[in-house]
Amino acid sequence: MTTQTTDIHSNIDALIQHIEHAFATGKATDIADCYSDGGMLLPPGLDFINGKEEIQAFWQEAIDMGIKQLKLDVITIEQHGDTAIEMSHYTMLGDGDQLIDRGKGIVIWKYEQDNWKLFRDIWTTSLPQYPTN
């Protein structure tokens, strides 16, 4: 096991900027490349999405449905050897900066082949699920 020694915050911030840019340009392949080979999504309302191919297809469908921008705001990152746990807020926007979703998430990152990669990615909306009176 090799432990990553560079500044984890800078590394993950750069990857997050890459992911945000990939959403803005509609490139699901670039998003999927940020995940480890054994990466997994745990989206709300769906079963596990396994591996880069399924992850790319999931994000491509999200882009095709109208997500034009993803903003990620990291709250904390805790490194534990070759893994790290990130807690963050997200905002998904459509055309004209229309709010699609806003919520929170946890990502488990893994340091593989001299790079940090998303290993487990789970999120949930903070928007009301039911109409309020």
Residues with Cβ within 8 Å of 41's Cβ and at least 6 positions away in sequence, in order, are 48, 49, 54, 55, 58, 121, 122
* CATH of segment(s) 8-125: 3.10.450.50
pLDDT at 132 exceeding the cut of 90: no
The string of pLDDT tens digits covering residues 77-120 is: 999 999 999 999 999 999 999 999 999 999 999 999 889 999 99
What is the percent of the chain where pLDDT is above 90? 89
Asked if 84 contacts 116 with a C-beta cutoff of 8 angstroms, the reply is yes
What does the domain layout of the chain look like in residue ranges? 8-125
Cα 75 from chain centre: 14
